[in-house]
Chain A
Amino acid sequence: MMRAVFLATLIACSGLGAATAGAQTLDARRLGMGGVLTSDVGDHQGSNIAFRAVPKGAAGSGSIPLPLGLIQYLSDHPTYDSKDSLFNVFEIANVFLNPPLTIQIVKPNVVEGDISVFVAQDSLRVDLADVKNVIPKNSMKQGGVYHIGGIGKSFGRAFFQVGPLIHLRNELTLSDELRKALRDAVPFTGNTRYGLTDEGRAQAAISFQAGYALRVLHQPSEGEKDSNDPRRNGVTALYVGGAPKYLIGIAYGSAESSGGVTTGDTLFAGSNPVTIDELTETRTSGVGGHGGLGTGFGSDVGAVFYFRNFELGLGLNDFGSQIKWKTTVRRHVYDDATNAFTTIQVAQDEEFTSRIPVTTTINVAKRIGRTTIAADVVDGDLRTMMHAGAEFWFGMIALRSGIYRDQNQMMQFTGGGGYRFGKIGLDLAIATNSRNIERERGAELSASLSLY
């Protein structure tokens, strides 16, 4: 039972990460518009390779975040001293889930409250108070595909870039019985299995990518005399782009685990009242171990179509991306009778092909004069997010508003404004979010500079 409780503790602690952070948008202009993405708003990560071929418009070409939240954090941050009476691990977790780069206007309620446990020989009830909110109703998913840094060079319509690619994914699922016991304080019962499954995967690679984006369709319009911006000159145009990539796999690891405890007739009776089961299968490869480097190919492709100042874009990143490895497979089984793990090597140098999940971005936008109305859907490995927003310019002043559905399936609301000083603009945005372990709505103030 001690081991069982330890297992349960791990499960509960895993719940700390249930509230996945999701992307924190530091571009105040984009955030004010609900985090929406268009060919000239917020596409600094290359969500659609075809955007590279679209002429830059008057709406800005980049942004510089102003991390004002750091000032707030330095003046008011959680204690990291576990002996301090104010120490709260949930507050610390929120620092990581919601990095203090923006000013927190409305902070979610701190997880607190007394925890109650009732124990009898055949009864156990755990009331975690508001910690219950940490345990999600469904499986806990974390991860994503990260293209971090890298260097590149453009040659007209062509470009070349090298950079790291990291894919992380973890999904922890509690059995209904365990979830109800922890989240809903349903009493533990006899002859019941309280289990969980966990699927984790991590892979890292270096991506060597060359790409080309161009206009393939063009029907002139009267507006082209005044501007070459297809977003606003009424032209009909189609831009496409493609960028194959060669991937050198650095490391791969995956683990699929299933474990649980099964109670006996009476919860607390006898010397061994529960049966523990646990099975984990791991698959690994990487530099410095068996298997060595992996190799693979992938691509980013995209297209964006303009018609009478209407924009429709489709971007597929890591389309068909996969890496071949020579992996070692091991199976770890827990034996309840001996209270020990047994590890069996199932295979060595077994060929295995891993996938980099595709990220699909569909965006629509309509420009009417200096007004932009836009929406997008971003479908990734773990979640689908939707954004919609609008921007209105009055002279040098911009007003923005938007909504989006976040990683916790909650609707969030944003608004903001900006002022343009020649080639630079100052943008501010206020937005709600649920990037915290409690999944409660908070609000933040973001600031950034726009480059025009």
Chain B
Amino acid sequence: MRRLIPFLLALPLLVGCGNRNLILTVDILSFVDPSMRSEAYGPIPSGFPNDTIEVFSDSLNLLQGVGDVTRVASASLDVAASFDNTSGAATGDFLIYFAAADSADPFTTTPIADIPFQLLAGQITNVSTHVDASPALAEVLTHDRAKVGLRVIFNGTAFPIQGTETLTKLTATVILKKDL
């Protein structure tokens, strides 16, 4: 169904022929299965100071059909997540990946965003970031399809580390210009 989204964009594009921008805001998170938005981590015992979980990897076709008549002028991304850390402590990185659809694995590319965090036992930690004017994101969104992936890297300082990570926001804002 996600392939259908971009065709709606043809409407303002065709109607809006002129020296104007099309500002497309896509709530990517809403297209992610709710069961995939949360990921339990741990327990990570001592002896494993570094651990990685991959929250999800999915394929999105957000600009299909639009690329023929538009070019991406800029792209930005808003990401937010929540860690309900029940035990242990750690620092870490919350990584967002976007890759071309023909890539086998989005995690092989350079992350679009790298959000550092610090977790303490029994605390909920919220993290967020705004990735502005990302050329890499714009490059990916120029294509018809893209893959997105989320990865969390823990650097434990107190063990066992255990909790739940929940992705709370993943919104892409793309500014398109016509290219008729």
Contacts and interface: CB of A to CB of B under 8 A. Distances in A.
B110 to A, nearest CB: 26
A155 interface: no
B15 interface: yes
| Size band of the interface chain A makes with B | 35 or more
Contacts of B108: none
B40 interface: no
Contacts of A117: 8-9, 12, 22-25
Contacts of B22: 114-117
A19 B65 CA distance: 30
Interface stretch (B26-34, B47-55, B129-137): B26-34
Contacts of B18: 87-90, 110-112
B27 A13 contact: no
Interface string B2-27: 10110111111011111111111111
B1 A128 contact: no
Contacts of A121: 27, 30-31
Given A115-B22, A116-B23, A117-B25, A126 B4 contact: no
Given A90-B18, A112-B20, A82 B180 contact: yes
A45 to B, nearest CB: 35
Contacts of B26: 118-120
A15 B2 CA distance: 28
Interface in A37-58: none
B141 to A, nearest CB: 13
A353 interface: no
A5 to B, nearest CB: 4
Contacts of B31: 120-121, 268
Contact of A118 (B11, B19, B27): B27
Contact of A6 (B5, B7, B25): B7
Given A89-B17, A118-B27, A126 B1 contact: no
A113 B1 contact: no
A415 B130 CA distance: 58
Nearest to A2: B7
A134 interface: yes
Interface in A104-150: 110-124, 126, 128-129, 131, 134
For the complex of A and B, list the 9 residue pairs with the smallest distance between their C-beta atoms, beginning with the closest. Answer: A1-B4, A120-B27, A5-B7, A120-B30, A88-B18, A121-B30, A89-B17, A115-B12, A82-B180
